[in-house]
Amino acid sequence: MKAFSGHTGSLFFDPGLSRLTTGRTTSLFAEDIKARDAELRSAISGRRILVTGGAGSIGSATLELLFPYAPAAIHAVDLAENGLVELVRDFRSRAEPLVGCEFRLLPIDYGSAATERLLQTEKPYDLVLHFAAHKHVRSEKDVPSVIQMIDTNVVKMHRFTKWLQKYGHGKRYFAVSTDKAANPTSLMGASKRLMEHVLFSIGNEEASVTSTRFANVAFSNGSLLQGFLYRLARRQPLAVPREVRRYFVSPREAAEICLLTAGAAAPGHITFPRLDPNEHLRPLVDIAVALLQELGLQPAFYEHEAEACAATEAELKRGSYPVLLTPLDTSGEKPYEEFVAVDEKPAPTDFAALSALRYVPPPTALEPALAFFDEIATDAGIKLEKSDIARHVASVVPGFKHIETGRSLDDRT
C-alpha cells in the first residue's frame, strides 16, 4: 500500500489510472486497429488533416495516434490557448521526432471568421476531425449557458460545415458525438444530436461522413474522475452519485474509436463501442474506492456535505478519506446510458469491438430550427426561457424529453 502524501500531481499524467476505471490493461479496440491498418493508412498517410478541439482530452489523444501514420500535415484549432501550448511542448519534447509532418496549432474559434480565413487560404484538407464542443450537462444551468452551448455545438458547426464545402475541404468528415444524443433527456445531449444532423446534412457522393457515440473517457478534462484528483490534491472530499453505473473507455481507446470511425467506418454511419452491461458498467462509487486504495486509503462514507468537507484531516489520520454520497437529482441527468435511439436500428459492421447504426435524418426540416438558434445566439434582445429553447430542439430531435429538476451540478460539491 502506498502512503498518501497529498502530492497527487503525477497522477494527472499516469496512463495506468485508466485501468482502475475500465479494469483493462489492453485496449478493447487493438484487434480492430491492427485489422484495419491498411484502411487507416489510406485515409491518413500523406493526407492533410484539420482537427477542431485539438487541445481537449479526446482531440489530443487522437492527434497522438495520427502521427505514426505519417500524414502530410496536421493543423489543430482550439480556443484553449494554454492547452495548445502544452500540447506542442509535449509533442516536440518526445523522443520520436515529427518527421515530414507540417504540425501547426492555432488558438482560434472553429466557428469564427478567423477559421473561415484559414479555410480560404489553406490547400484543401483531406480529412476533417471535429472535437470542439460544450460537453457537460451542467452547461444547461441557465439561459445564457444554454445559448452558448447551442452556439458552440450547433450554430458554429453549421457555419463551419458550410465553409468546408464552400472552400473545397474534406473527402472525409468526422465528428465525435455522445451517448447522451440517443433519446436525450438533457439539452446538452439534444444539442449533440442536432450536431449529428448538421454533420450528416453535408454528405454527398464525393465525401464520407461518419460519427461516433461513446460514454465516459476515464479522467478526461472536466470529468468527475479528474475532479477526484483535484479534490485529493486539495484535501477535499470526493463526491459520488450513489447507485450510478457508467461505461468507460481510456483516452487511448477513445482515440482509437475515432480513428476507426473516421478512417474505416461505412459512410453515413454512427459507431458505438460494443460493451456488455454486465461486464463493462462500473459503479462510480467502486472507482472512487479503487482510486483511494491505490493511494493506500480506505473510504469513509458521508451523507452530508458539511460533515464531509470538515472531515478530511481527521480521516487522513485514520488512513481513510471522506466520500460524499449524493443523489442523482440534477437537470438533464440520466440514470443509465444507451447508444441507440428509439428511431434507430443497429446496422451490420465488420468491426470486432464496434457496433454501428445508419444515421436517421430528422422528421422535419432542420433549417427553421437552425435559423432560430442562430438568432438567439446573435441577438441578446430576444426574451426567452429554457423551455422555449427546449421546444425548438424537440421539433427536430425525436424522443427528446428534457428532465428539469431546478438543480444544477454547480449546486453541489
pLDDT tens per residue, range 247-273? 999 999 999 999 999 999 999 999 999
At residue 2, the pLDDT reads 46
* Domain count along the chain: 1
**For residue 140, pLDDT beyond 60:** yes
The pTM for the full model equals 0.92
- What span, in angstroms and rounded, lies between the C-alpha atoms of 283 and 242? 8
CB proximity list for 67: less than 8 A, separation 6 or greater? 74, 91, 96, 98, 101
Task: With cut-offs at 50, 70 and 90, classify the pLDDT of residue 3.
Answer: very low
Domain coverage including residue 344: 22-217+248-280+333-411
Q: Is residue 288 part of a domain?
A: no
For residue 56, give Cα distances in angstroms to 131, 196, 204, 295: 8, 19, 29, 27
In a domain, 225, yes or no: no
CB 357 within 8 A of CB 338: no
Q: Taking a C-beta distance cutoff of 8 angstroms, is the pair 174, 123 a contact?
A: no
Q: Are 328 and 241 in contact (CB under 8 A)?
A: yes
- Residue 46 is part of a domain; what is its CATH number? 3.40.50.720
Q: Is 34 exposed, middle or buried (0-12, 13-18, 19+ CB in 10 A)?
A: exposed
> Would residue 294 count as lying in a domain?
no
Assess if residue 321 is contained within a domain: no
Q: pLDDT category, 125, cuts 50, 70, 90?
A: very high
Beta bridge partners of 51: 76, 129
What are the two backbone dihedrals, phi and then psi, of residue 369, each rounded to the nearest 5 degrees?
A: -65, -40
Residue 132 bridge partners (DSSP): none
Is 166 contained in some domain?
yes
Residue 213 lies in a domain: yes
**Which tens digits make up the pLDDT trace of 24-55?**
999 999 999 999 999 999 999 999 999 999 99
Sign of CA dihedral 260, 262, 268, 272: positive
Q: Which grid cell is 347?
A: 446496422
Question: How far is it, in rounded angstroms, from Cα 138 to Cα 121?
Answer: 37
Residue 14 within any structural domain of the chain: no
The C-alpha angle with vertex 220 and arms to 245 and 52, in degrees rounded to 5, equals: 125
The C-alpha cell that represents 50 in the structure block: 484539420
Domain assignment present for 311:
no
Contacts of the segment 381-388: beta carbons below 8 A, 24+ positions apart: 384/143, 385/143, 386/140, 386/142, 386/143, 386/146, 386/187
